[in-house]
Structure formats: C-alpha cells, structure tokens
Amino acid sequence: MDDYSWLRIPASEVDRAARELLGWRLTANGVSVRLTEVEAYSGLGRDPASHAHRGVTGRNEVMFGPAGMLYVYQIYGMHFCANVVCGEAGMAAAVLLRAGEVVDGLESARSRRPAARTDRDLAAGPAKLMQVLALDRRANATSVVNGTGPLTIAPPSEPVPAELVEAGPRVGVTAAHDVAWRFWIKGDPTVSGYRRHTPRRRAPS
C-alpha cells in the first residue's frame, strides 16, 4: 500500500482514516508539525456533527471530494480550522487536524503564537495549529498531497503503535458529541484539553 492509502478508506470508515493520520508531519510556511490529535467526521447523513450532514452548500462543497483536499472554515469570526478530505467522492468524509508538536521552524512558530506559555502549547488545538502554520481561508480547496497547496503532509518513518492510540468524545460540537471519534497519542503533552459539551440553557422568558 502507498503512503496515501488512507485517502481511499471508505467514507463509512473515516474513523480508521483519522487513526492513520496520527504521527504524520504537516509542513507549511517554514514550520512542520507532527500530528498528535485528530477528529473524524462523516457526511453520510448519520453524523449530525458534520458540516456536510445536510448536503452540499457553498461553504462545505470541498468536503464532497476529491480526497486529499483541505477544507478550511472559520470559527468565532476570527480563527481557522482545517480538515483533510478522504473517502469516496460525493460522501464528504473528513478528518479535523486538532493538535500537534512543532518539530521544525520553532522560532517562527513562537513568533506566530506569542501567547503560548510553553512550546508544547504552540499547536495544542485546531486554531493554534493553523496559526503556527500561518494558514487561513486561502488554503481552502487546495491539495495536501500533490505539492500544489501551501500545506503538505508526509507519513512518519514508523506508524504510531495501536496501543498508543486513545479515543474519546469529540470536542466543541453541539450534536453527536459523545461519538468517540477523537483520537490522540497517549501521553503526548501537545494533545489539547478535553471539555465535555454542555448544552446552553435558555434564558427565562
């Protein structure tokens, strides 16, 4: 199997694709990050947490393929997050790049995240990861595998051993938040902190 075989994993098994991505190296704008945490999303109509759950829109159309493209979206009107599209075209499976360890370009990463208290916090979250890589909406719908986009990804010399991969509920979603499709490398200090979803209470009328 080639290095990008995870791209062809059926969309219904997007959780397996997410596991495969742990340990991969992301490189953009002079900084490289080793992925330590990811999160899987399916667009098959049974994952209400997915942006593609209700079908194609102008915002999410890149999620429907082809595989190997980057889906970038904005949160809170100021931060960006990125997903790698995988699976069959038209099925909208994607893996959120949640956190990682800066392994090259440390000084540049520090300059982009001056608020980070320690180096392990530089990319410990999806928005932080995008900041250290200096990526924004302009990276949307670009390839991460053929060298034409600002972000490239490369496999580790050795895959992360299965016994070091842990799974748990997803973060920051209002639906299907208990689905254990968040994966991380056990004991790695760069994994983001987990906060359980708490439904908002309506103000009394």
Q: How far apart are CA 34 and CA 104, in angstroms?
A: 9
What integer pLDDT is reported at residue 97 of this predicted model? 97
10, part of any domain = yes
What integer pLDDT is reported at residue 54 of this predicted model? 62
Q: How many residues are recorded in the chain?
A: 205
What integer pLDDT is reported at residue 98 of this predicted model? 94
Collapsing DSSP to helix, strand or coil, 127 comes out as: helix
14, part of any domain = yes
List the chain pLDDT tens, one digit each, 205 residues: 468 888 888 888 989 999 999 999 999 999 999 999 999 888 776 775 566 666 677 677 898 879 999 999 998 778 999 999 998 888 888 999 999 999 999 999 999 999 999 999 999 999 999 999 999 999 999 999 999 999 999 999 999 999 999 998 877 666 556 777 899 999 999 998 766 655 444 444 4
202, part of any domain = no
195, part of any domain = no
Q: How many CB atoms lie within 10 A of CB 93?
A: 31
Q: How far apart are CA 149 and CA 82, in angstroms?
A: 13
191, part of any domain = no
85, part of any domain = yes
Q: How many domains does the chain have?
A: 1
Domain residue limits at 172 = 5-185
Q: Is 133 exposed, middle or buried (0-12, 13-18, 19+ CB in 10 A)?
A: buried
What integer pLDDT is reported at residue 46 of this predicted model? 74
Per residue in 94-122, is it b (16+ CB within 10 Å) or e — as a string? bbbbbbbbbeebeebbeebbeebeebbbb
CA distances (Å), origin 200, targets 21, 41, 174, 197, 203: 33, 23, 10, 9, 9
203, part of any domain = no
205, part of any domain = no
What integer pLDDT is reported at residue 196 of this predicted model? 61
What integer pLDDT is reported at residue 111 of this predicted model? 98
CATH of the domain at 111: 3.10.300.10
